[in-house]
Structure 1
Amino acid sequence: MTNEDITLAQRLADAAGEAIRPFFRARFERETKPDASPVTEADRASEAAMRRILNAERPADGIIGEEYGNEREDAARVWVLDPIDGTRAFVAGRPLFGTLIALVEEQQPVLGVIDQPIIGDRWVGARGHVTQFNGAPAQTRRCSALTSAHLGTTSPAAFPAADLTHFERVCAKAGDTLWGGDCHNYGLVASGHLDAVIESGLKLYDFAALIPVVEGAGGRMTDWQGRPLDATSPGQVIAAGDPALVEQIAALLNG
């Protein structure tokens, strides 16, 4: 990963935002995928805009995207794209969705962007760099006690039944739980407004970009067993602003 990659990732976010904004709170076509999740013209336009840049400027790099599949996925460097993480929020006119852009090298996410193109929130995390929020350093909040922690997750419907039962054990111990937010929640962890996020059923394009953002701000991301995340991890994730919370959360999730 180079500084040029960081600049490119921000250009990708700019292009995605330009494609998304005309559709926000406007009339557009909407379809439902086989997994019952929605997809819109904005999702496709956003990912297509990013792919055009990557194929022109990084033709040897791989691409994994939610809407248009994989290209050169065995390359040493792979860009992982989620054009609209939180399509349900987008369809409802709620500006809590985001574009996720990650660069993965040797199975490790080394660069990540969370971009909210309506309200202008952008987090950029890169290995060896402090996470930036709108150009200024971001820092997580020190909160080592779960009983004082503000916990976030997108929806109880996103958890398989068994995982939801485990998640509810954590909720019972946490200071409070906020519902909704999609990828925006992880940016709020990086900036110290939320203390932890727990989710299940995520794909690589849902979580790869989040890891450099959260960890570059002083937090930690793991799977539900407390293991570091990489491109091969299952979709159960813990993001904690204070690394001391991870062990407490993992213990409750695992009963």
Structure 2
Amino acid sequence: MINRMTQMVGIAGIHRMPDYSSRLERAVAMTEAAAGVSLSYFRCDPEIEIKADESPVTLADKATERSLRDSLRQYFPQDAIFGEEFGQSGEGTKTWIIDPIDGTRSFIAGLPLFGMLLGYLVEGRPKLGVIRMPALGEVYSGGEGLNAKCNGTQIQVSACRALCQARLFINEGDKLAVSEPAVFSRLVRSGQLRRMAADCYPHALVACGLADAVVDYDLQPYDYLPVSAVVEAAGGLMTDWQGNPLTMTSDGRTVTAATPELLAELLELLNRP
């Protein structure tokens, strides 16, 4: 299983990796409390606003993020917070990143595939993440040096190494078809099984071995950084379309894959002239 447990050895000896287990336990608990907020608005015809980028936002998005921010200020007052709805608060090298409802369009339509994302970054790199699916009663978690879990049970990615055998999710297919038609055309002819989807759930399915790969598009840091921590803790990989590690400044095009071989094949497909 691929992980980031490599120890750094220097003149002073072995440097131990920080233990993020207690933070991850607290993060899972905070998202559980916030899920009740989201669900109190679900399928209740929420009031909708349209943001400057033409994406929708509801009272549920804002109330859920407030719940998470309140919990973070209580338990980690020294850390900065960056959220989709209320931006940045605080400064420093340690930051919590929030997407209160990942899949607001699904939420508005009554589709139970919306998620909640919470991640912890150190110097911009994801160290732990939580993917909670409030309406499904599922929570996926993991972090650097920690096992990935779904509802407390350890999970891991599949062993799929070939795209022709892969269960492939194509996220944001409508956007891809317009902006990247050649890529979209190649993707819809790839994989053994293909599904069109959106948002965080397909990535969670890769983490637990039920899917093998996801190609995603037009994401923000709060969409992909928490997710990447879970995928990598499960032994998978998540990069941009050039194979680079994801950061706060990545361009929003991502690939999630169960194995290095599968990732390499997808990157070749995405970047083919």
Q: Which of 119, 128, 132 is equivalent to 1:102? A: 119
Matched, 1:219 2:242: no
Contact kept, 8 Å, 2:20 with 2:144, in 1: the verdict is no
Please report how far the alpha carbon of residue 103 of structure 1 lies from its aligned counterpart in structure 2 after TM superposition. Answer: 0.2
CA displacement 1:152-174 (0-9 Å, x = unmatched):
13332233734343233233232
Partner of residue 6, structure 1: 24
SS of the residue 1:130 aligns to: strand
SS of the residue 1:115 aligns to: strand
Partner of residue 142, structure 1: 159
SS of the residue 2:188 aligns to: helix
Alpha-carbon distance between aligned partners in 2 of 1:29 and 1:206, rounded to the nearest angstrom: 23
CA displacement 1:53-79 (0-9 Å, x = unmatched):
11222222111100111112x411100
Partner of residue 128, structure 1: 145
Partner of residue 131, structure 2: 114
Partner of residue 252, structure 1: 269
Q: Greater CA radius of gyration, 1 or 2? A: 2
Q: Which of 36, 43, 62 is equivalent to 2:61? A: 43
Partner of residue 60, structure 1: 78
CA displacement 1:10-60 (0-9 Å, x = unmatched):
122112201111111113211111222111111011000001111222222
Question: After the TM superposition, which segments of 4 or more aligned residues of structure 1 sit over 6 Å from their partners?
Answer: none
Correspondence list, 1:182-221, <5 A: 182-221=199-238
Alpha-carbon distance between aligned partners in 2 of 1:50 and 1:5, rounded to the nearest angstrom: 14
Correspondence list, 1:146-161, <5 A: 146-159=163-176, 161=178
Contact kept, 8 Å, 2:177 with 2:184, in 1: the verdict is no
Contact kept, 8 Å, 2:143 with 2:230, in 1: the verdict is yes
Matched to 1:30, the amino acid is: I
SS of the residue 1:75 aligns to: coil
Partner of residue 96, structure 2: 79
CA displacement 1:175-204 (0-9 Å, x = unmatched):
232112420111100111111011111110
Contact kept, 8 Å, 1:167 with 1:198, in 2: the verdict is no
Partner of residue 39, structure 2: 21
The TM-score, its normalising length taken from structure 2, stands at 0.89
> Which stretches in structure 2 are left out of the alignment for 5+ residues?
1-18
Alpha-carbon distance between aligned partners in 2 of 1:165 and 1:89, rounded to the nearest angstrom: 27
The TM-score, its normalising length taken from structure 1, stands at 0.95
Q: Which of 70, 73, 85 is equivalent to 2:88? A: 70
* 75 and 164 in structure 1: CA distance in 2 versus 1, 3 angstrom threshold: farther
Matched, 1:176 2:193: yes
> Which stretches in structure 1 are left out of the alignment for 5+ residues?
none
SS of the residue 2:118 aligns to: strand
Please report how far the alpha carbon of residue 134 of structure 1 lies from its aligned counterpart in structure 2 after TM superposition. Answer: 0.6
* 164 and 206 in structure 1: CA distance in 2 versus 1, 3 angstrom threshold: farther
SS of the residue 1:64 aligns to: strand
Q: Which of 50, 56, 61 is equivalent to 1:32? A: 50
Q: RMSD value over aligned CA atoms?
A: 1.5
Contact kept, 8 Å, 1:150 with 1:176, in 2: the verdict is yes
Contact kept, 8 Å, 1:163 with 1:200, in 2: the verdict is no
Partner of residue 105, structure 2: 88
Contact kept, 8 Å, 1:107 with 1:232, in 2: the verdict is no
CA displacement 1:109-137 (0-9 Å, x = unmatched):
01000000111111001100110111011
Alpha-carbon distance between aligned partners in 2 of 1:164 and 1:4, rounded to the nearest angstrom: 45
